Structure 1
Amino acid sequence: MSSIIGNKLKISLFGESHGEAAGIVIDGLPPGIELNLEYIDEHMKRRAPGQSVLSTPRREEDKYSIVSGYFQGKTTGTPLCALIYNENINSKDYNEIKSKIRPGHGDYTGFIKYKGFNDFRGGGHFSGRLTAPLTFAGAIAMQILQSKKIYIVSRIKSIKDISDDDGINLHENEINRLTKMNFPVLSSDKLKLMQEKISEAKENNNSVGGVIETYIVNVPAGYGGPFFDSVESKLSHMIFSIPAVKGIEFGAGFDITKLTGNNANDEFIITNNKITTTTNNNGGILGGITNGMPIVFRTAIKPTSSIGISQHTVDLHEMKETEINVAGRHDPCIVPRVIPAINGAAALVILDLILERDGELWI
């Protein structure tokens, strides 16, 4: 299994894209948490393939089965395990990549690491299919955080060279609106241009990437730690577990290098008897610890690696250069479907940080 161990939560993913099922084990969830299954279903549906003409034709309902750690509607405190069965599989599309490695994928590195025994169908264990169980776990964490008025929301900051407007409103109504959108952007005009850009890539058997901007609101000051346990370190570790993520930046990010110290520093003020800052260039984190301002980060998502354009590659069995035209059903842009995975992954990190400091009694 692929595992990540927090100070309180331990998460393990297992399964392959074209295996019988993918699944997750969550260890460390406190007992007695009532799960809103409809809320989890909503997040799973937004990530699921086949929900839009701009996504892959592969259609999976992403129905999950909780097989342990859940009894009479509540968590038991023992490891919670959920399975998501793969139903709409067409493995014959992947016969060619048994020997021909796909550019941009983990085919070559997986072949080397696992000595040729890896399941190559649909990317196997390297597939974005494994973000389904991650989204499931994240939806549990999100509803726990929401019970304490901590919200996580993401919007599509850009698709290729089309950028959304600035000036996001972080009031609860706007957060709920964006959360329910399959293609969350602020500007309806930019939404149209972004979707046109994706449609153009699809028509040309190509793909595009983009940037997702995420806000975590109402996390109190004092969570996290310096150096190796910084909030940035933990979030980055988790976010980079999502396939196709190639970069992450916090607050003003790389643009902070264009500022001088007096502009980059977030000056402190008192608002309604609470210490806040006039700006948020540091993205709600100072010294690796939350400062009470919204945690802000942006994630770079690369163009979908599977494209219907002929590309140069190598045949591993014959050890010669050749060409490949990737068959199968693929997204021309995976950015919209990555959002629930990013939200859920971030929620797991924040929940672990809170449980570390405050313990189960926080819930």
Structure 2
Amino acid sequence: MSTTADAIRSADAHSAHNYHPLPLVVASAEGAWMTDVEGRRYLDMLAGYSALNFGHGNRRLIDAARAQLERVTLTSRAFHHDRFAEFCTELAALCGKEMVLPMNTGAEAVETAVKTARKWGYEVKGVPDGHAKIVVAADNFHGRTTTVVSFSTDHDARDHFGPYTPGFEIVPYGDLTALAHAVTENTVAVLLEPIQGEAGVLVPPAGYLRGVRELTRERNVLFMADEIQSGLGRTGRTFACEHEGVVPDVYILGKALGGGVVPVSAVVADRDVLGVFRPGQHGSTFGGNPLACAVALEVISMLRTGEFQGRATELGEHLHRELNLLVGGGAVTAVRGRGLWAGVDIDPSRGTGREISEKLMELGVLVKDTHGSTIRIAPPLVISKEDLDWGLSQLRSVLGA
């Protein structure tokens, strides 16, 4: 077995340096815990950026995958397979929509949503061809494809990847007035995260999502909600939009839809939106494959019980109560989030987000920094209250709080 140092050295030598991971090498995982190559255990408080909402090695998901592995894993969409219709039907029902367009990764789903909105704009709304505009929010994170980084305000994600794709208007997140001014007769969609995850778990002002819904309906513009991180139980509801009683025109899903087992993403909308596609106009070799459908169907079944949404609500209230006790004491300057999801701004006197993450790693707790001074906390929804409390005690120790 390779040592941690050997594995990291080999990775640094032979893989592109597009990530800056913490210096540990995971060998196995179960539930909310991961074990490295040297046998040390760590409490996972990141959950694969919410891809692992149901924990590592969830038995229901592994069993569903194993059973499908024995039957058929890929047909391509050149043929029907016996899990596809059920997956589309069940996911559409979960979202309260009529149609599903399955893909693999979240970024692919966002790209698909962009194409959907433009095609809908030209063929349904009547926008002149080539003039469609999509309004997005500053500090967004929708992926890292060339189109998506064209409307990013993150210099690391955007710089030196041009020329950039036109057709996007950026407005401040949470500012309804700016959004209203940006929407014109050529606007086909507003694309937003109900909670901005990568930006530091930013929750918009109360009433903002309702205002977006009202505005887009009045102006005949699609409201596309990127629920890739915020959806599927993380915030205490199936979708974060539900906290304001909002139903968007388009859901963009990924991460937890594959249960941390396989990459699964989807765009979900009604027939008057997704019905614009014809054969040959969009696709994916692996999108909607039998293995992905089998795992996602089990995810949908688990979400229907409400168990995981309930755990996120109950444990999330506890998490935020404990974190807010740290605010104002010289350790933490702000806490944001909803459900079992938090962005914690570290007082600069205690270290950077990266330094705090490294110190927590030494104590057996895994989180990740973003934007310099912030750490993100998003444990699997299966975490026990005792483990969550232990992780928080390590955070208090590191902060000297």
TM-score, normalised to structure 1, is 0.24
Structure with a larger share of its residues in strand: 1
TM-score, normalised to structure 2, is 0.22
Structure with a larger share of its residues in helix: 2
